[in-house]
Every structure is written in C-alpha cells, then in structure tokens.
Amino acid sequence: MRQLLRRSLADLSRTDRQAIQLATRQFDSRQATIPLDPACEEAAVWLLAAMHWCGYRHPAELDRAPSHPPTGLLRWLASFRSIQQEYRPQGIVVLLPLDMRRMEYRSRVLVASMIACRGTVALLPELLPLVR
C-alpha cells in the first residue's frame, strides 16, 4: 500500500506536490479544511485518499515514520471474512491496487464537489466510504 501511494505521489506534477506541501502547512485542524486552487485538485485527491488508507487525521503525518499499522488498510482487510483471509490471501492482495484506484476515484468525485461548492477541501478520511 505504501509503495503504491509513493508511486502515485511521484506521478503527480511538481505543482501538485508543492500544493501538498502548502496544504500541509495551511491545514486547519479545527475545521479540517484547506483552501485550494482548483488547478491543484489532484493534490487534494491524493491527500484525501492517502490519509484514508494510512488512517491519519493530519496531512503532516504522511511525512513521518508510521507509528501504527495503516488503519485504512486494516479496515479494508477486515472487510474480508477470516476464512477468505486464511485460504485465499493472494486473491485478496491482488484486489488492493484495484480498490485503491476505486478509492482514489471516490476521492476525486468528493474533492471536485467540495471545490465547486465552497472552494475549500475538507480532509476528513472518514468521508470516503469503505470500498467493500
């Protein structure tokens, strides 16, 4: 999961990566929002999805070494029955990139609607529903 997130971050434009750094500094933890230029929408999409998968409530935590297993990944894994986890682990692992892309799409739709309505983005990972 972390490797896929690193790859998707590397695929972002330099402007979007700079927008992520700016958003991290401007994040208002009381309101959990960031002001965002619509041209940097991909940065917010990545941030929201990454925060969901890692289980973080602040974007600055994405730069730190993890102190716990990724909460979003654990929730995703818990959506499978234990018998599936035991007897078909490879089948589950194959689904992770697909579900991460699906979550990124949901993040994209949510961010676009927030920008259109208010011009700010609420970085609340719980806004993204579970994939399963």
Distances (CA, A) of 94 to 54, 79, 91: 19, 15, 5
Mean pLDDT over each residue of the chain, to the nearest integer: 87
Spatial distance between the Cα atoms of 23 and 94, rounded to a whole number of angstroms = 32
| Chain segment 55-107, per-residue pLDDT in tens | 888 888 888 887 777 888 888 899 999 999 999 999 999 999 999 999 999 99
Q: And the tokens for 26? A: 């401007």
Quote the percentage of the chain above a pLDDT of 90: 39
Whether the CB-CB separation of 92 and 84 falls below 8 Å is answered with yes
How far is it, in rounded angstroms, from Cα 129 to Cα 79? 12
C-alpha 70/C-alpha 58 separation (Å) is 14
Listed residue (57, 59, 14) closest to 39, CA to CA: 14
The pLDDT of residue 130 is: 55
Q: What is the pTM of this model?
A: 0.84
pLDDT band (50, 70, 90) for residue 42: very high
